[in-house]
Chain A
Amino acid sequence: MKRHLLTIVVLFMMIPVGLRAQLDPVSLALRAYQNKDLPKARELIEIATGDDNYNNQAKTWYFRGYIYKDIYSANKQTKDGRESRQQAIESFFKAVEYDTKEEFKADCYKALNFLAATLYNEAARALDSANFDVAVDYFEQHKEIQCIVTPGIDWTERTIDFKLYMASKYSHLFDNPRPGDDPDELGQGIIRIYNEVLDLDSDNVQANYNLAIHYYNQGVSIIENMDYELDFEELFAIQATVMELFGSALPNMLKAYKLNPYRKETLVGLSGIYFGLNDIESSEHYQEELKKLEEKEQN
């Protein structure tokens, strides 16, 4: 952009002042932009994009992209700022569409790359503040742009990283719910996200381990919070639920073990799950493996 913009500005400055007043709205918008009068630049570029003489020119959309990009940069955290970013993205794509000579394409892609990065950062921020739907929306927008601008990126890996981070945030909320949070909804969310990761990569150790731990901890938490006054009938019902949870944990923990038999956390996990299932022999087997591993590490 900067190179093209400079050329255009230089040419613009060479035009006599009197003549400039009669210039087209694109040039006037550019002048306002150069004067850092972004509201005026926006007003003028909108006139240009509404005019059939200018709205099919790559240059018009290219300038519009930069005007809105700067409006976004000046108001990042406002609704207008975010809408301006969206306008900028659409404008750069339109500029590329009309740019048959590929004069602006490289600049447009560079700007789109920047804007895509801001979307990714916002997705991460949204995750940190547990706005999960917003985060997914930003991530998908980021991905959509990057797929065009930077083809060849391995999206499986990036999507997995994003989902694992999101699942960790869900887990944190599940353990420390805010007023109004629905634990069941959060729990289901954790299971859904880890399963989405496993759909992308069934050999993902972290997703297998974390999903198993989630099921296991749910079972343990139920036992931990049992009322001491429970009668046999209620005890049996709870025990059936807990056994089901431990049973759900087992295949994922065994998979995590298969993928990495030397991970201590997995051995602890397997021992705990089998213990919960009252399979003491298997529990002791993994306890023994852990002991051997730790001894090996010490020697």
Chain B
Amino acid sequence: MNKLNTRAKMKSMYISNFAKYTEWPAEYKQGEFVVGVVNDDALATMMETMAKTKTINGQKMVIKRFSSPSEITKCHLIYVAGKASGEVQPYVSKVSKFSCLIVTEGAGLIDNLSAINFLTIAGPLKFEMNKKTFNNQELIVSTLLENLATKVIK
């Protein structure tokens, strides 16, 4: 039986597409494209494999693993694992000073913490979006991505 973490691989593909359909401020469009992964080794491993060959908007991808808020450094995108807002909040606070696309996976997290949240429902992987968070982080989301989201908070 193949032991691949299918959800992690699928999420890594979605995340790279989230980045593809998001525009960062000019000063973020050069150098490396940094993706932070918090407390999800399976996803971090998938992203690291992806980063070996893939670029995001012409920028070389670099994956950083974080396991505590104090480790957080500047990221273009961060995925924070954790179902409770209390777990996610400290990381969100740390990246809020950057133009960072915050991605989470947990019920209710989209309301005031993340810009994109994976839904934990059976079936094809779905996501919801909070345009306010995009705006707060000075990020511009494409209409295509908005149209694909199950729910968009405006």
Contact = CB atoms under 8 A, between A and B. Distances in A.
A245 to B, nearest CB: 11
Interface string A242-277: 110000000000000000000001001100100111
A279 B147 CA distance: 24
Nearest to B12: A228
B36 to A, nearest CB: 19
Interface string A234-248: 011001101100000
Contact of B123 (A223, A272, A277): A277
A110 B107 CA distance: 73
Contacts of B123: 243, 277-278
A79 B105 CA distance: 66
Interface string A214-225: 001101110110
B4 interface: yes
Contacts of B16: 228
Contacts of B10: 223, 235, 239
A224 B9 contact: yes
Nearest to A269: B1
B26 interface: no
Contacts of A272: 1, 3
Given A277-B122, A278-B121, A228 B4 contact: no
Q: Is the interface of A mostly helix, strand, loop or mixed?
A: helix
A242 to B, nearest CB: 8
Given A239-B125, A240-B124, A232 B148 contact: yes
B7 A275 contact: yes
A213 B123 CA distance: 19
B135 to A, nearest CB: 22
Contacts of A232: 17, 144, 148
B93 interface: no
A52 B3 CA distance: 70
A230 B54 CA distance: 11
Nearest to A240: B124
Contacts of A226: 9, 13
A6 to B, nearest CB: 60
B1 A217 contact: yes
30 contacts: A213-B1, A216-B2, A219-B6, A223-B4, A223-B6, A224-B2, A224-B4, A226-B9, A226-B13, A228-B16, A228-B50, A228-B53, A228-B54, A232-B17, A232-B144, A232-B148, A235-B10, A235-B14, A239-B10, A239-B125, A242-B6, A243-B123, A269-B1, A272-B1, A272-B3, A275-B7, A277-B122, A278-B121, A279-B122, A282-B122
Interface of A: 213, 216-217, 219-221, 223-224, 226, 228-232, 235-236, 239-240, 242-243, 265, 268-269, 272, 275-280, 282
